Amino acid sequence: MVNSAADEIRVRIGPSPTGDPHVGTAYVSLFNYAFSKQQNGKFILRIEDTDQKRSSLDSERAILSSLKWLGVQWDEGPDVGGPYGPYRQSERLDIYKKYIDQLVESGHAYWCTCSSERLAEVRKRQLALKQPTGYDGHCRELAQIAGVVRLKTPSEGKISFHDLLRGNIVIECSEVDDQVLYKSDGFPTYHLANVVDDHLMKITHVIRGEEWISSTPKHILLYRFFGWQPPQFAHLPLLRNADKSKVSKRKNPVSLEYFKEAGYLPEVLLNFLGLMAFSFEDGREIFSLPDFVQNFKLERISLGGPVFDLQKLLWLNGRYLRELRNNSQFTSYLQEQLFSTSYLSQIVNLVKERVEKSEDFISYADFFFKGDVTISAENYQIKGIEDKKKLVEIYETLVEKLEALRPFDVEGIDASLRAFCQEKDIKSRDLFMPVRLIVTGKKASPPLFETMAVLGKERCRTRMRAALQIIKTQLPA
């Protein structure tokens, strides 16, 4: 079987480097990877950093490194290059500009100078009148070159596209907003960049999350206006929390770094993700990545949104550890996972002065190695905060603040925690002790910031979430 270049399968994953590497990215990557590799196609990684404010190189590095850890290797990407680069959208600005100009010239898009205040007002009015919200077309016929560029959606007709998993999907043009394609900072929005890049990079199949279904008509319109052949679409069901909502970090661990830190094997996570929305014909539930690639079939994807159930993941990890690792492999696994020289030396640095004989190390440093360090809820009280709801809210805000911290280092934690005290009008010593108790389970520990930095973001956040759970269940309202 020889594929000519023309019908080579090409798929892509387009993570946005705006935070921690997400388990959803891994899930979609896995399916894209399997689909392409099975057909000797190419799997492309494209960094979608068109949100200047939120994107960071740090986040990009973390995402690449997590995906590498998982082993879904891409053929083209910002780090490995390829024939259709650059693979970072922020480096393709001149390309998008060219196409935007073309769209404006052909009358399929227009410049819009409406202020955000006016937009908010229009929206408010529409809401009040129970009308569908969307841009009101104020600048549609104006000849100007300033502000943003919007898509000129036809006022009548239907747009339809075929989804490989769901069949035909039809949407009225009147339901499609005059979406912004080009922002006033000179960056494209997702919609424009994704269509232009998919075309230029010769993407044949767009396999992405279900959340994109409702914006696909805009993309179809763009393909039409450019005169391009759209790729095939397949929208995967979204991973869910236990309550069926879209998986989110407030209700679930979602960072790939968490799974790595917590001691899940990459092949287990991949195996588990492969169980989400997919099943082998022979019912097999334990399989390697090559197995998955070989047996993958779009038609076997089930469409109900799968709940990302940690219990089963845990069981699977146990099986791999028990069955697929002999004693010496297990030993070296522990050595690198838990007792690496670098981790150990950071801890030694913090506890050495307290130790009088070697075994003291264990009692001073146990919490660096443990999973759960929760203690009773009173320990998490903050002086002056009597109200339980208030307490919960404070910790929730704090976790979110720490989650956003990247890099998670001593300076950052220090600044972040102190700023937080200011904001919330809490004395630093009144906050630091309960936080210490949350992350270490002990009153006595090495200096808090250093300890947190060594523990790492994922352990800290997990422990804070666990503490929150304890507060919610144990403390009287």
The DSSP letter of residue 237 is P
Q: Which of 134, 137, 154, 456 binds RNA (CB under 7 A)?
A: 134
Active site residue 249: yes
d(CA 211, CA 317): 29
CB contact at 8 A, 187 and 93:
yes
- For 167, the 3-state DSSP assignment is strand
| 34-93: contacts with RNA (CB under 7 A) | 48, 50-51, 54
Return d(Cα 436, Cα 464) in angstroms, integer: 10
**Catalytic entry in 152, 218, 249, 457:** 249
Choose the binding region for RNA from 179-187, 219-227, 383-391, 444-452 (rule: CB under 7 A).
Answer: 179-187
In this chain, which of 80, 93, 95, 119 binds RNA, going by CB under 7 A? Answer: 119
Of 34, 234, 269, 275, which one interacts with RNA (CB under 7 A)? 275
- Which residues are CB-contacts of 369 (< 8 A; sequence separation ≥ 6)? 338
Whole-number Å distance between alpha carbons of 13 and 67: 11
Give the separation between CA 83 and CA 174, rounded to whole angstroms.
39
Binds RNA by CB under 7 A, chosen from 37, 42, 92, 240: 240
277 lies in the binding site for RNA (CB under 7 A): yes
Would you count residue 297 as binding RNA (CB under 7 A)?
Answer: no
For residue 112, the surrounding DSSP H or E stretch is strand 109-112
Residues 6+ apart with CB under 8 A from 74: 13, 33, 43, 44, 45, 67, 80
Report the DSSP pairing between strands 205-209 and 232-236.
parallel
Minimum gap (Å) between residue 220 Cβ and RNA: 13
Total chain residues near RNA (CB under 7 A): 70
Only one of the segments 136-144, 260-268, 287-295, 302-310 lies at the binding site for RNA (rule: CB under 7 A); that segment is 302-310
Using the structure block, give the residue that is written with the tokens 């990459």. 266
Task: Confirm or reject binding of residue 133 to RNA (CB under 7 A).
Answer: yes
Which range in 5-13, 126-134, 328-336, 428-436 contacts RNA by CB under 7 A? 126-134
Piece of 279-287, 385-393, 399-407, 433-441 that binds RNA (CB under 7 A): 279-287
State which of residues 57, 142, 200, 303 lies at the interface with RNA (CB under 7 A).
303
Q: Does 298 bind RNA (CB under 7 A)?
A: no
User: Closer to RNA at the Cβ: 119 or 298?
Assistant: 119
Q: If binding is defined by CB under 7 A, does position 102 make contact with RNA?
A: no
Is the distance from CB of 442 to CB of 436 less than 8 angstroms? yes
Q: In terms of Cα–Cα distance, which of 307, 320, 330, 331 is closest to 266?
A: 320
**Token pair belonging to 217:** 């008509």
Q: Which H or E run includes 65?
A: helix 57-70
- Is residue 474 within the footprint of RNA (CB under 7 A)? no
**Binding to RNA (CB under 7 A): which residues in 309-328?**
309, 311-312, 315, 318-319, 322
Output phi, psi for 301, to 5 deg: -80, 130
Residues 420-459 that bind RNA (CB under 7 A): none
> In a 10 Å sphere around its CB, with 0-12 CB exposed, 13-18 middle and 19+ buried, how is residue 120 labelled?
exposed
Give me the active site residues, please.
249
- Which residues here bind RNA, judged by CB under 7 A? 14, 16, 18, 48, 50-51, 54, 114-116, 119, 123, 130, 132-135, 147-148, 166-167, 169-172, 175, 177, 180, 183-185, 187, 189-190, 210-215, 237-238, 240, 242-246, 275-279, 281, 283, 285, 300, 302-307, 309, 311-312, 315, 318-319, 322
